[in-house]
Amino acid sequence: MQTVKASALDRLQDLLAQGERKAAYRYALDERLWAHAMIIASSIDKDAWKEVVNEFIRSELNSQGVADATVPGRRDTTAPCTGREPLKVAYSLYSGQGAASSACIV
Letter for the amino acid at 40?
I
Q: Could you tell me if 17 and 64 lie in one domain?
A: no
Domain that holds residue 3: 1-44
CA–CA gap between residue 85 and residue 5 (Å, rounded): 31
Q: What is the pLDDT of residue 75?
A: 45
Q: How many CA atoms lie within 13 A of 17 on its CB side?
A: 6
Q: What is the pLDDT of residue 48?
A: 94
Say if residue 59 is in the same domain as residue 36. Answer: no
Q: pLDDT at position 70, please?
A: 36
pLDDT of residue 101: 59
Looking at the structure of the chain, the number of domains it has is 2
Instruction: 24-30: list long-range contacts, CB under 8 Å, 24+ apart.
Output: 25/52, 29/55
User: Are residues 54 and 99 located together in one domain of the fold?
Assistant: yes
Residues 21 and 64 in one domain: no
User: Which residues, including other chains, have CB under 8 Å from residue 86's CB and lie 6 or more apart?
Assistant: none
pLDDT of residue 103: 55
60 with 36, same domain: the answer is no
- How many of the other CB atoms lie within 10 Å of CB of 7? 9
Question: How far apart are alpha carbons 21 and 3 in whole angstroms?
Answer: 22
- Same domain for 87 and 73, yes or no, is yes
pLDDT in tens, the chain (106 residues): 667 899 999 999 999 999 999 999 999 999 999 999 999 999 999 999 999 999 999 998 886 444 433 344 444 445 567 778 888 888 888 888 775 555 554 4
What gap in Å lies between CA 68 and CA 52, rounded to an integer?
A: 23
95 and 50, same domain (yes or no)? yes
